[in-house]
Structure 1
Amino acid sequence: MKTTITKENNAVIFSLNGRLDSNSAPLFEQELHEFMTAPSAHLVFDCNKLDYISSAGLRVILNIAKAYKSGQFLFSTCAMQEHVQEVFEISGFDSFITIYPSVDASLAVLKNQQ
Protein backbone atom coordinates (compact mmCIF):
# COMPACT_ATOMS: atom_id res chain seq x y z
CA MET A 1 0.00 0.00 0.00
CA LYS A 2 1.15 3.51 -0.74
CA THR A 3 0.26 6.52 1.40
CA THR A 4 0.44 10.18 0.52
CA ILE A 5 0.38 12.63 3.41
CA THR A 6 -0.86 16.19 3.06
CA LYS A 7 -1.73 18.86 5.59
CA GLU A 8 -4.60 21.29 5.42
CA ASN A 9 -5.38 23.70 8.24
CA ASN A 10 -5.22 21.64 11.43
CA ALA A 11 -5.71 18.28 9.68
CA VAL A 12 -3.35 15.64 8.38
CA ILE A 13 -4.75 13.69 5.44
CA PHE A 14 -3.49 10.21 4.67
CA SER A 15 -4.50 9.18 1.15
CA LEU A 16 -4.45 5.39 1.08
CA ASN A 17 -3.74 3.62 -2.21
CA GLY A 18 -3.80 -0.15 -2.68
CA ARG A 19 -4.32 -2.91 -0.14
CA LEU A 20 -4.27 -2.53 3.64
CA ASP A 21 -3.63 -6.11 4.63
CA SER A 22 -1.31 -8.24 6.77
CA ASN A 23 1.65 -7.28 4.59
CA SER A 24 1.14 -3.52 4.63
CA ALA A 25 -0.54 -3.01 8.03
CA PRO A 26 2.66 -3.16 10.15
CA LEU A 27 4.39 -0.49 8.04
CA PHE A 28 1.29 1.68 8.04
CA GLU A 29 1.06 1.36 11.80
CA GLN A 30 4.67 2.55 12.07
CA GLU A 31 3.79 5.58 9.92
CA LEU A 32 0.95 6.35 12.33
CA HIS A 33 2.99 5.89 15.52
CA GLU A 34 3.16 9.58 16.47
CA PHE A 35 -0.59 9.96 15.89
CA MET A 36 -1.32 6.95 18.09
CA THR A 37 0.88 8.05 20.96
CA ALA A 38 0.26 11.80 20.97
CA PRO A 39 -2.37 13.10 18.53
CA SER A 40 -1.52 16.68 17.63
CA ALA A 41 -3.85 17.32 14.68
CA HIS A 42 -7.12 16.11 13.23
CA LEU A 43 -6.60 12.98 11.15
CA VAL A 44 -8.43 12.02 7.95
CA PHE A 45 -8.00 8.79 6.01
CA ASP A 46 -8.91 9.34 2.35
CA CYS A 47 -9.90 5.85 1.23
CA ASN A 48 -10.80 6.73 -2.35
CA LYS A 49 -8.02 4.52 -3.75
CA LEU A 50 -8.05 1.89 -1.00
CA ASP A 51 -8.87 -1.28 -2.92
CA TYR A 52 -8.97 -3.78 -0.05
CA ILE A 53 -8.84 -3.91 3.74
CA SER A 54 -8.28 -7.05 5.81
CA SER A 55 -8.71 -7.71 9.52
CA ALA A 56 -5.09 -6.61 10.01
CA GLY A 57 -5.94 -3.28 8.39
CA LEU A 58 -9.07 -2.94 10.50
CA ARG A 59 -6.96 -3.48 13.62
CA VAL A 60 -4.77 -0.50 12.68
CA ILE A 61 -7.89 1.61 12.09
CA LEU A 62 -9.30 0.49 15.45
CA ASN A 63 -6.07 1.45 17.25
CA ILE A 64 -6.02 4.92 15.72
CA ALA A 65 -9.73 5.41 16.55
CA LYS A 66 -9.00 4.49 20.17
CA ALA A 67 -6.10 6.95 20.29
CA TYR A 68 -8.38 9.75 19.11
CA LYS A 69 -11.45 8.79 21.12
CA SER A 70 -10.99 11.01 24.17
CA GLY A 71 -8.70 13.73 22.85
CA GLN A 72 -9.31 17.18 21.47
CA PHE A 73 -8.62 16.11 17.88
CA LEU A 74 -10.92 14.12 15.61
CA PHE A 75 -10.35 11.09 13.39
CA SER A 76 -12.47 10.36 10.34
CA THR A 77 -12.43 8.44 7.11
CA CYS A 78 -13.83 9.43 3.75
CA ALA A 79 -14.42 8.61 0.11
CA MET A 80 -14.62 4.83 0.56
CA GLN A 81 -15.23 2.56 -2.35
CA GLU A 82 -18.46 0.63 -1.89
CA HIS A 83 -16.81 -2.73 -1.17
CA VAL A 84 -14.47 -1.19 1.45
CA GLN A 85 -17.32 0.64 3.13
CA GLU A 86 -19.23 -2.63 3.23
CA VAL A 87 -16.37 -4.18 5.26
CA PHE A 88 -16.61 -1.27 7.71
CA GLU A 89 -20.38 -1.74 7.98
CA ILE A 90 -20.28 -5.53 8.38
CA SER A 91 -17.58 -5.26 11.06
CA GLY A 92 -19.51 -2.51 12.87
CA PHE A 93 -16.73 0.05 12.47
CA ASP A 94 -19.16 2.55 10.99
CA SER A 95 -20.81 2.79 14.42
CA PHE A 96 -17.75 4.45 16.00
CA ILE A 97 -15.79 5.81 13.03
CA THR A 98 -17.28 8.64 11.02
CA ILE A 99 -17.28 8.06 7.26
CA TYR A 100 -17.72 11.13 5.05
CA PRO A 101 -18.42 11.06 1.31
CA SER A 102 -15.37 13.18 0.44
CA VAL A 103 -12.24 14.83 1.80
CA ASP A 104 -13.91 18.22 1.47
CA ALA A 105 -16.90 17.09 3.54
CA SER A 106 -14.60 15.74 6.22
CA LEU A 107 -12.53 18.93 6.32
CA ALA A 108 -15.66 21.10 6.48
CA VAL A 109 -16.77 19.31 9.65
CA LEU A 110 -13.27 19.58 11.13
CA LYS A 111 -13.17 23.29 10.34
CA ASN A 112 -16.38 23.76 12.32
CA GLN A 113 -14.78 21.97 15.29
CA GLN A 114 -11.96 24.51 15.63
Structure 2
Amino acid sequence: MEFTPQQEGRVLVLSPLGRIDQAHADDFQRALGAFLPGCTGAGDALLLDLSGVDFISSIGLRALMIAIKQVKAQGGRMALAALSPLVGEVFSISRFDMLFEIHPDRAGALAALNMPNGQGGAA
Protein backbone atom coordinates (compact mmCIF):
# COMPACT_ATOMS: atom_id res chain seq x y z
CA MET A 1 0.00 0.00 0.00
CA GLU A 2 1.37 3.37 -0.97
CA PHE A 3 0.34 6.80 0.19
CA THR A 4 0.61 10.02 -1.72
CA PRO A 5 1.28 12.53 1.04
CA GLN A 6 -0.26 15.97 0.80
CA GLN A 7 0.94 18.87 2.90
CA GLU A 8 -1.89 21.05 4.24
CA GLY A 9 -0.36 23.76 6.41
CA ARG A 10 1.28 22.01 9.38
CA VAL A 11 -0.54 18.77 8.62
CA LEU A 12 0.67 15.86 6.52
CA VAL A 13 -2.37 14.08 5.06
CA LEU A 14 -2.27 10.42 4.06
CA SER A 15 -5.23 8.85 2.27
CA PRO A 16 -5.11 5.04 2.16
CA LEU A 17 -7.48 3.24 -0.21
CA GLY A 18 -9.26 -0.09 -0.02
CA ARG A 19 -9.16 -2.65 2.75
CA ILE A 20 -6.81 -2.70 5.71
CA ASP A 21 -7.09 -6.41 6.44
CA GLN A 22 -4.90 -9.49 6.82
CA ALA A 23 -3.75 -9.25 3.21
CA HIS A 24 -2.84 -5.55 3.35
CA ALA A 25 -2.04 -4.68 6.98
CA ASP A 26 1.72 -5.28 6.76
CA ASP A 27 2.01 -3.05 3.69
CA PHE A 28 -0.17 -0.43 5.40
CA GLN A 29 1.96 -0.51 8.54
CA ARG A 30 5.20 -0.27 6.56
CA ALA A 31 3.94 2.63 4.44
CA LEU A 32 2.54 4.49 7.45
CA GLY A 33 5.72 3.89 9.45
CA ALA A 34 7.76 5.85 6.92
CA PHE A 35 5.88 9.03 7.88
CA LEU A 36 5.86 8.63 11.67
CA PRO A 37 9.35 9.96 12.48
CA GLY A 38 8.36 13.44 11.26
CA CYS A 39 5.26 13.52 13.43
CA THR A 40 6.70 15.15 16.56
CA GLY A 41 5.81 18.08 18.75
CA ALA A 42 8.10 20.24 16.60
CA GLY A 43 7.07 18.62 13.30
CA ASP A 44 3.89 18.16 11.34
CA ALA A 45 0.69 16.65 12.65
CA LEU A 46 -0.44 13.55 10.79
CA LEU A 47 -3.95 13.08 9.43
CA LEU A 48 -5.20 9.82 8.03
CA ASP A 49 -8.13 10.54 5.72
CA LEU A 50 -9.92 7.19 5.82
CA SER A 51 -12.68 8.12 3.37
CA GLY A 52 -11.23 5.63 0.89
CA VAL A 53 -11.04 2.74 3.38
CA ASP A 54 -14.06 0.47 3.18
CA PHE A 55 -12.95 -2.13 5.76
CA ILE A 56 -10.48 -2.48 8.62
CA SER A 57 -9.77 -5.68 10.54
CA SER A 58 -8.21 -6.22 13.94
CA ILE A 59 -4.76 -6.46 12.38
CA GLY A 60 -5.35 -3.08 10.74
CA LEU A 61 -6.37 -1.66 14.10
CA ARG A 62 -3.16 -3.07 15.55
CA ALA A 63 -1.12 -1.19 12.93
CA LEU A 64 -2.90 2.04 13.88
CA MET A 65 -2.36 1.39 17.60
CA ILE A 66 1.38 0.95 17.03
CA ALA A 67 1.44 4.20 15.05
CA ILE A 68 -0.44 6.27 17.63
CA LYS A 69 1.78 4.97 20.43
CA GLN A 70 4.89 6.05 18.53
CA VAL A 71 3.44 9.45 17.66
CA LYS A 72 2.40 10.13 21.25
CA ALA A 73 5.81 9.01 22.55
CA GLN A 74 7.40 11.54 20.18
CA GLY A 75 5.10 14.31 21.42
CA GLY A 76 3.32 14.45 18.07
CA ARG A 77 -0.30 14.55 17.04
CA MET A 78 -2.19 12.13 14.81
CA ALA A 79 -5.87 12.22 13.89
CA LEU A 80 -8.29 10.30 11.72
CA ALA A 81 -11.03 11.71 9.50
CA ALA A 82 -13.94 10.64 7.34
CA LEU A 83 -14.51 7.11 8.63
CA SER A 84 -17.17 5.23 6.67
CA PRO A 85 -20.10 3.96 8.75
CA LEU A 86 -18.65 0.42 8.76
CA VAL A 87 -15.15 1.54 9.75
CA GLY A 88 -16.64 3.89 12.36
CA GLU A 89 -18.60 0.99 13.84
CA VAL A 90 -15.43 -1.12 14.08
CA PHE A 91 -13.71 1.74 15.93
CA SER A 92 -16.67 2.13 18.25
CA ILE A 93 -17.08 -1.57 19.06
CA SER A 94 -13.35 -2.01 19.66
CA ARG A 95 -13.21 1.24 21.68
CA PHE A 96 -10.47 2.53 19.39
CA ASP A 97 -12.52 5.71 19.12
CA MET A 98 -11.15 6.44 22.62
CA LEU A 99 -7.52 6.24 21.42
CA PHE A 100 -7.77 8.57 18.46
CA GLU A 101 -8.79 12.09 17.68
CA ILE A 102 -11.51 11.42 15.08
CA HIS A 103 -13.18 14.04 12.91
CA PRO A 104 -16.24 13.60 10.69
CA ASP A 105 -14.50 15.09 7.65
CA ARG A 106 -11.13 16.15 6.33
CA ALA A 107 -11.87 19.88 6.42
CA GLY A 108 -12.78 19.81 10.12
CA ALA A 109 -9.73 17.74 10.94
CA LEU A 110 -7.44 20.12 9.06
CA ALA A 111 -8.94 23.11 10.83
CA ALA A 112 -8.40 21.50 14.24
CA LEU A 113 -4.90 20.20 13.50
CA ASN A 114 -3.68 23.50 12.05
CA MET A 115 -4.63 25.38 15.24
CA PRO A 116 -1.83 26.26 17.64
CA ASN A 117 -0.95 23.38 20.01
CA GLY A 118 -3.62 22.46 22.51
CA GLN A 119 -6.48 24.37 20.89
CA GLY A 120 -7.84 21.69 18.54
CA GLY A 121 -9.98 18.83 19.75
CA ALA A 122 -11.87 15.79 18.59
CA ALA A 123 -15.23 16.33 17.00
What's the TM-score once normalised by structure 1's chain length?
0.89
Q: Is the 8 Å Cα contact of residues 54 and 84 (structure 2) preserved in structure 1?
A: yes
What are the within-5 Å matches in structure 2 for residues 99-110 of structure 1? Answer: 99-110=102-113
Unaligned runs of 5+ in 1: none
- Between the aligned partners of 1:6 and 1:37, the Cα distance in structure 2 is 16
Larger mean Cα displacement after TM superposition, 67-76 or 98-107: 67-76
- Between the aligned partners of 1:46 and 1:36, the Cα distance in structure 2 is 15
Q: Residue 71 of structure 1: CA displacement?
A: 3.3
After superposition, the C-alpha distances for 1:71-93 in whole angstroms (9 at most, x for unaligned) are: 33210000011110000010011
Query: After TM superposition, which residue ranges in structure 1, 4 or more long, deviate above 6 angstroms?
Result: none
Secondary structure in structure 2 of the residue aligned to 1:44: strand
| AA of the residue aligned to 1:33 | G
The structure in which a higher percent of residues are strand is: 1
Partner residue of 1:11?
11
Say if 1:2 and 1:61 are closer, same or farther in 2 by CA, change over 3 A: same
Partner residue of 1:112 out of 87, 106, 115 = 115
- Between the aligned partners of 1:41 and 1:20, the Cα distance in structure 2 is 24
How many aligned residue pairs are there? Answer: 114
Q: CA RMSD in A?
A: 1.7
Identity across matched positions, percent? 32
Unaligned runs of 5+ in 2: 118-123
- Between the aligned partners of 2:52 and 2:34, the Cα distance in structure 1 is 24
- Between the aligned partners of 1:23 and 1:97, the Cα distance in structure 2 is 24
What are the within-5 Å matches in structure 2 for residues 34-113 of structure 1? Answer: 34-37=34-37, 39=39, 40-113=43-116
Say if 1:45 and 1:109 are closer, same or farther in 2 by CA, change over 3 A: same
What's the TM-score once normalised by structure 2's chain length?
0.83
- Between the aligned partners of 1:74 and 1:22, the Cα distance in structure 2 is 27
- Between the aligned partners of 2:23 and 2:7, the Cα distance in structure 1 is 26
Q: Is the 8 Å Cα contact of residues 38 and 44 (structure 2) preserved in structure 1?
A: no
